[in-house]
Amino acid sequence: MSEVKKVKLTPNEIRTAKNAAAAEKTLSLANKLMLTANQAAAEAKQALEARQIIATQKENAANNARAAYESSVEKNASAEQEMRAATEAGEKARADAEAARVAKILAAQEAAAAKQLAIEQAKQRAQEAAAAKLAQAEAKKKAAEEAAALKKAQAEARKKASEEAAALKKVEAEARKLAAEQVAAAKKAEAEAKRQAAAEAAALKQAEAEARKLAAQQAAAAKKTEAEAKKRAAEEAAAQKKAEAEARKLAAQQAAAAKKVEAEARKQAAAEAAAQKKAEAEAKKAEAIAKSKAAAEAAALKKSEDAARKLSAQQEAAAKKTEAEARKQAALEAAAIKKAEAEARKKAAEEAAAHQKAEAEARKIAAQQAAAEKKAEAEARKQAALEAALIKKAEAEAKKIAAQEAAAARKLATEQARLAAQELAAAKKAEAEARKAAAAEAKQIAQQEAAERKAAAALKKAESAARKAALVPPEPVWPFPEEETKEASSV
């Protein structure tokens, strides 16, 4: 059955992957914030363009007002010239009166035009004031929206930090639970291994006691055969059958013990396989250790079964050989008895040596299993410590990244608040400038209207003077006509 090789990530790779995930999250947050900032910049640009258009309109209105003022000044100067011309030229009173009448009509038309212009300018100023109020309301609305977006971003950042902290705590709890389960599985496997070693040792001791008992029985039978050679010759067949039955019984007991050990080993292997599957489902990292341990236990179990089978085969062969020797001894009588005694002693020595060898092998296997279990336990503890260290390190890295993200979010929120405050101050300043320009323009328009009213009053005054001058009769020039008549009559 082929084993699947699984790659174990190093701490550097784990840290790099976590840093990459955190960097990707930070980049997505920065992209969202950048999109919000771009939208705010576009809106600010639109507001600035609107303000520039309003300023251009105000400048055009000021230029128009200046041109109207200059025209009114020129008209005033022409009216004064006309008035002087009417004063100097008394003879042209009617022409001057007509000119005054025409000038009055023109002045009335110009006054109506100036009044219409003033009305239009007042309407424009009202529109500009309404536009300024609308821009102020838009700026306030934009500032409120930016503040709401900032609060939302801060809430999202806090929620994200809390979710990451909760996930980190969950991962830490899972890791601790996995480590605890691995330690429990290791302790359980250690207890099962110790119990199995104790059972194998008990079975080995029992087999050794049976072998010694059999050797003692065989020695007693040999002594009894030597003392009662003739009696044993008659009872040899029964004794041999009894010995064969004892040997078979011993072999059956040993086979049962071996089967029991094998069943215990299989049960242990099944339990370890179940624990291994559970550990594999919970943590794939402990799979290699569990498989190596299961392989070692299976190898040890197989080795123990081979030793038990070898011992059983040796005992069966010895029993058959003893039976053959007994039959030969029954046929050959005394020589066969001596030979059987020698064979029995040799067999007892061989069995004792075999038992000693098997005991040494069992002890060696138990020592190897204990060393393997200790090594596996040390490896499990080392792995658990390494995983705990990695978890702590990952937790520290995650906390550091969360702190950095929170600091970046706070810094970004502060920067956005500062930009919003600057934009609000700029909007207020622009509004104040617009109000100031509107006040100056209104003042200039009022001055212009006052100058126009003054010019109209002067024009009316000139017209009144011209009318008066037209109504006054011309003064007589000397010599008077009456005196000339008198002189002519006297002559």
Backbone CA torsion sign across 204, 205, 206, 209: positive
Helix or strand run (H / E) with residue 391? helix 334-471
The more confident residue out of 103 and 145 is 145
Structure tokens at 116: 């219409």
Question: Which of 243-257, 363-377, 399-413 is predicted least confidently?
Answer: 243-257
pLDDT at 317: 80
pLDDT at 484: 46
pLDDT at 488: 45
What's the rounded mean pLDDT across residues 311-336? 73
Structure tokens at 354: 């075999």
**Closest by alpha carbon to 82, among 69, 62, 97?**
97
Whether 323 has a pLDDT exceeding 50, the answer reads: yes
Interatomic CA distance for residues 351 and 211, integer angstroms: 7
pLDDT at 222: 66
The more confident residue out of 389 and 304 is 389
Question: Which of 7-11, 214-218, 310-314 is predicted least confidently?
Answer: 7-11
What's the rounded mean pLDDT across residues 438-463? 80
Contact 400, 21 (CB under 8 A): no
pLDDT at 202: 82
Whether 287 has a pLDDT exceeding 50, the answer reads: yes
pLDDT at 171: 75
Structure tokens at 440: 């100056």
pLDDT at 218: 76
Residue for token digits 């003392």? 227
pLDDT at 491: 44
Whether 59 has a pLDDT exceeding 70, the answer reads: yes
pLDDT at 480: 47
pLDDT at 12: 81
Amino acid at 188: K
Which of 68-72, 212-216, 353-357 has the highest average model confidence (pLDDT)? 353-357
Task: Find how far residue 296's CA is from the centre of its chain.
Answer: 43
Confidence of residue 87 (pLDDT cuts 50, 70, 90): low
Chain segment 411-439, per-residue pLDDT in tens? 887 887 788 778 778 878 877 887 887 78
Which residues have C-beta within 8 Å of that of residue 219, sequence separation ≥ 6? 344, 345, 348
Structure tokens at 15: 């840290």
Find the radius of gyration of the CA atoms of the chain.
63
Whether 78 has a pLDDT exceeding 50, the answer reads: yes
Chain segment 466-482, per-residue pLDDT in tens? 777 666 555 554 554 45
Which residues have C-beta within 8 Å of that of residue 30, sequence separation ≥ 6? 408
Contact 97, 468 (CB under 8 A): no
Backbone CA torsion sign across 56, 58, 63, 67: positive
Confidence of residue 7 (pLDDT cuts 50, 70, 90): low
With 0-12 / 13-18 / 19 or more C-beta atoms within 10 angstroms meaning exposed / middle / buried, residue 476 is exposed
- How many of the other CB atoms lie within 10 Å of CB of 294? 17
pLDDT at 90: 58
What's the rounded mean pLDDT across residues 357-382? 83
Can the peptide bond before residue 479 be classed as cis, meaning omega within 30 degrees of 0? yes
What's the rounded mean pLDDT across residues 36-46? 82
Mean pLDDT of the chain: 76
pLDDT at 176: 78
Contact 394, 16 (CB under 8 A): no
Q: Which pairs with CB-CB distance under 8 Å and at least 24 residues apart come from 311-314?
A: 311/207, 311/254, 311/354, 311/358, 312/251, 312/254, 312/255, 312/258, 314/351, 314/354
Question: Which of 51-55, 157-161, 334-338, 451-455 is predicted least confidently?
Answer: 334-338
Contact 248, 319 (CB under 8 A): yes
What's the rounded mean pLDDT across residues 120-142? 78
Percent of the chain with pLDDT over 70: 84
pLDDT at 3: 55
Q: How many CA atoms lie within 13 A of 279 on its CB side?
A: 24
- How many of the other CB atoms lie within 10 Å of CB of 467? 16
pLDDT at 231: 73
Helix or strand run (H / E) with residue 182? helix 93-227
Three-state secondary-structure class, residue 393: helix
The distance in angstroms from the start CA to the end CA of the chain is: 174
Alpha helices in 283-333 (DSSP H): 287-332
DSSP assignment of 158-178 equals: HHHHHHHHHHHHHHHHHHHHH
For 94-111, b/e burial (b = at least 16 CB within 10 A) is eebbebbeebbeebeebb
Task: Find how far residue 273's CA is from the centre of its chain.
Answer: 38
